Amino acid sequence: MKKSKWFFPVTDTDSAKEAIKMAYQTAFALAAIQAVLVGFLSWSNPALAVNLADSLFMVALGLILRNRLSRFAALTLFLYSIFIAYFTFAARAGIATVGYGGKNTILAVLFLYASYKGVQGTFGFHRIHKTRTNIKSILFLSAIIFGYTILVTAIYIGVMLIPQVESTFENMSESLMGALWLVPVITVILLGTLKLLPGTKSIKVVQDADKHSMFKS
């Protein structure tokens, strides 16, 4: 029987990777759609540019999911899709959502299902390959990423306190200022999770107990 492109069980490595692929590709696609829409709408209302942070967030999670097969990234993406679905259906029902959520319920449901498959795929993959998580390494990596985040935040604040810069951005909304801070922070978290920051490359977060696995941490 031919396997459905969208509806299939995770029973082996191939199906697990296919489920993960569905999740990150959907995240990339929705991030691109949102970025285009926000970019277009921002011409008339620059304050809407803050929503680009959502696109960056989805891309970051998608990259981590694709490159690290991360269960944490999959769970985060799934929880985010629940958040999006809630506000989308609330907006459709006429409930005030304080600017969150669109009204395209089809995309919301698609994202919710694809991110669920990502959770199913990552947990299935690690179960099949009997991988083990190194908690100490996770804590150490998290501490390094947190340190870089503090450094980036300090630099951001320092730059914003420069008189010339402060005068340039004095009329900018707080939400947009927050988005400008989120961009480097999300970038740091992404690079740290992918172990591309200095001091993170040698940290082994997942140990593979299956010697014949193709998995690489």
> So what's the pLDDT on residue 92?
79
> So what's the pLDDT on residue 40?
83
Q: Are residues 206 and 118 in the same domain?
A: no
Q: Are residues 153 and 50 in the same domain?
A: no
For residue 208, the cross-strand partners are: 131
Residue 121 has pLDDT above 70, yes or no: yes
Q: Are residues 161 and 95 in the same domain?
A: no
Domain boundary at 100, 128, 156, which? Answer: 128
More confident residue, 114 or 4: 114
pLDDT tens per residue across span 55-84: 888 999 999 999 989 999 999 999 999 998
CA 167, CA 161: separation in Å to the nearest integer? 9
Q: Are residues 6 and 107 in the same domain?
A: yes
Domain boundary at 78, 93, 128, which? Answer: 128
Q: Are residues 135 and 184 in the same domain?
A: yes
Residue 12 carries which side chain, given as an amino acid letter? D
Percent share of the chain, pLDDT over 90: 42
**pTM of the predicted model over 0.85:** no
CA 78, CA 190: separation in Å to the nearest integer? 17
Residue 212 has pLDDT above 60, yes or no: no
Residue 148 has pLDDT above 70, yes or no: yes
Question: Cα separations (Å) of 185 from 47, 121, 141, 192?
Answer: 20, 28, 15, 10
For the chain, the average pLDDT equals 83
Residue 110 carries which side chain, given as an amino acid letter? L
- Number of domains present in the structure of the chain: 2
Domain boundary at 108, 128, 148, which? Answer: 128
- Give the pair of three-digit tokens for residue 113: 């299902």
Region of 69 (left: φ > 0; alpha: ψ -120 to 50; beta: rest) is left
Q: Are residues 164 and 72 in the same domain?
A: no
Q: Are residues 184 and 115 in the same domain?
A: no
CA 133, CA 113: separation in Å to the nearest integer? 26
For residue 132, the cross-strand partners are: 207
Q: Print the domain residue range for 164.
A: 131-217
Q: Are residues 139 and 48 in the same domain?
A: no
Q: Are residues 107 and 15 in the same domain?
A: yes
Lowest-confidence pick of 118-122, 152-156, 166-170, 181-185: 166-170
Q: Are residues 24 and 114 in the same domain?
A: yes
For residue 206, the cross-strand partners are: 133
For residue 156, the cross-strand partners are: none
Residue 112 has pLDDT above 80, yes or no: yes
Contact 119, 132 (CB under 8 A): no
Q: Are residues 96 and 2 in the same domain?
A: yes
pLDDT tens per residue across span 18-58: 999 999 999 999 999 988 888 887 777 666 667 788 888 89
Q: Are residues 122 and 19 in the same domain?
A: yes
